Amino acid sequence: MSTTQKKKDDQGKGTLGQRLRDARLAAGLSQRKLAFPGCTAAYISRIETEQRTPSRELLESLASRLGVGPRYLATGEEGAEPIDPLMEAELALRFDETTSALELFERALASASVVRERARALAGLGRLAYRDGDMTRAKECLEEARAIDAQADVDPEGVIDTLGRCYSALGEDTQVLALYEEALRKAEDREDFRGRMKFGILLANQLIDSGDLDRAARLLGKALADSAETRDPLPRARLYWSESRLQTARGDHDRAADYARKALELVELTEDNQQLAGAHQLLAHVEIARGRPQEGLVLLEGGMELLGDSGHEAVRARFRLEQAHALAGLGRAEEAASLAMEAAGVLTPINPLEAGRGFQVVADALYELGERARARELYELAVELLSQRSNRYLAAAYVRLAELLEEDGHAIEALGLLKKALAIQAQVGQR
């Protein structure tokens, strides 16, 4: 028997982890090269060492990249298997091949023979619509997918997470809270600590945005207790991200920076560049809030380098928005205004709160340049976008707009805005 034939025969033996490792080595790939968004090199290592069992969807993705059948990885048995068009579509979406993914999901929806296939196709179309900023279409698809899979114990296509983001972008805060609270309750009922962590953190983030910081802190405390049951660094990193956001909202920027650094250290273990880029962005945001714009700018440049050519346009817009904050802090008002305006245009249909912050940065920069009329116009636009929910940015925008109005002789109108700012500050617990 030849060495090559013996190697092929040996690959059919052993555990799933051993077969994955053998197939990876036969394909000449390192764990890092095999990794893709949603499946890090660290996670592949855990599968190969039998610390994790991959889902069917993940197994299909790995098999496709390795040029073997999912059945072979799962059981060691050879044999031709029909290509799952939904799996192909989900792979295309993961690799940012959006045109191909759209065509495949639409084809799968038209030919779906069982409700579960229809739910997967709708979930994919919903995520694509969300990425394109079509919140109404995304909401319709995701709500239907969720209705089909209402009794499912898991959320493999991220329907609940993305649907919550749609509700938030549309200003439907009540629906966001109800969605995450129901998902958290179901996870608690089935004693699913991973689900409790995921939906507890999502709910906490929403509560931070709406100003209910005490309840957010309680939820994050419970998530911290659940995190002791997992060795996966990503859930704990997300927990630290949320703790950093909570401390930023409370005005404790030093503690926020500590949590952001902890998140960055954990994400570095995963070798996932997109997650790592996000951790750089979070720490940059905190450093800018601490009055260290140069440090923030360096972190953002590192994060953009990690993104490379990957990443959706909205992700890049968020980086440009933070870069605008840093440049404004360095006195480079014209550059800040240009970047923030560009970022806000991308983010307006996806996340009005972030877009409002962008216009606020532009207004601040123009105010410093002495362009008062244009600054006032953009503060008013920022207020319009930010007023979908009470938040500290809205309070700040009211204050700056009130200053402009008072300087222009509109004292009564300015006083009304200052009263609104005080009411919002009281609501979100800000001094």
Can you give the pLDDT at residue 58? Answer: 77
**248 in Cβ contact with 219 (< 8 Å):** no
Can you give the pLDDT at residue 157? Answer: 59
Can you give the pLDDT at residue 10? Answer: 41
DSSP codes joined into one string, 71-132: HHHHHS--------HHHHHHHHHHTT-HHHHHHHHHHHHHH--SHHHHHHHHHHHHHHHHHT
Domain-by-domain residue ranges, the chain?
3-82
Which residue did the predictor score with more confidence, 153 or 208? 208
On the 0-12 / 13-18 / 19+ scale of CB atoms within 10 A, 319 is buried
Host H or E run for residue 225: helix 213-227
What's this model's pTM, rounded to 2 decimal places? 0.72
| Among candidate residues 365, 301, 371, 355, the one with its CA nearest the CA of residue 327 | 365
| Residue 407 confidence (pLDDT) above 50 | yes
**34 in Cβ contact with 41 (< 8 Å):** yes
| Rg of the chain over all Cα atoms, to the nearest angstrom | 24
**387 in Cβ contact with 412 (< 8 Å):** no
Can you give the pLDDT at residue 428? Answer: 60
Task: Supply the DSSP symbol for 312.
Answer: -
Residue with tokens 């619509």: 129
| Among candidate residues 143, 151, 147, 152, the one with its CA nearest the CA of residue 125 | 143
**93 in Cβ contact with 123 (< 8 Å):** no
Can you give the pLDDT at residue 253? Answer: 92
Can you give the pLDDT at residue 309? Answer: 67
Q: How far apart are CA 407 and CA 11, in angstroms?
A: 77
The tokens of 7 are what?
Answer: 């190697």
Across 389-413, average pLDDT: 85
The alpha carbon of 29 is separated from its chain's Cα centroid by a whole number of angstroms, namely 28
CA distances from 308 to 99, 264, 315 (A): 20, 18, 12
Rounded to 5 degrees, φ, ψ at 36 are: -155, 165
**392 in Cβ contact with 425 (< 8 Å):** yes
Q: How far apart are CA 262 and CA 284, in angstroms?
A: 14
Across 224-238, average pLDDT: 84
CATH of 3-82, one of 1.20.140.10, 1.10.10.60, 1.10.3720.10, 1.10.260.40: 1.10.260.40
Task: Supply the DSSP symbol for 290.
Answer: T
Can you give the pLDDT at residue 55? Answer: 67
Task: Supply the DSSP symbol for 39.
Answer: B
Can you give the pLDDT at residue 2? Answer: 38
| Residue 275 confidence (pLDDT) above 70 | yes
The tokens of 119 are what?
Answer: 């739910």
Q: How far apart are CA 351 and CA 44, in angstroms?
A: 33
Beta partners for residue 39, in sequence order? 36
Across 30-51, average pLDDT: 81
Contacting residues for 100 by C-beta, under 8 A, at least 6 apart:
89, 92
Q: How far apart are CA 174 and CA 377, in angstroms?
A: 30
Across 113-126, average pLDDT: 88
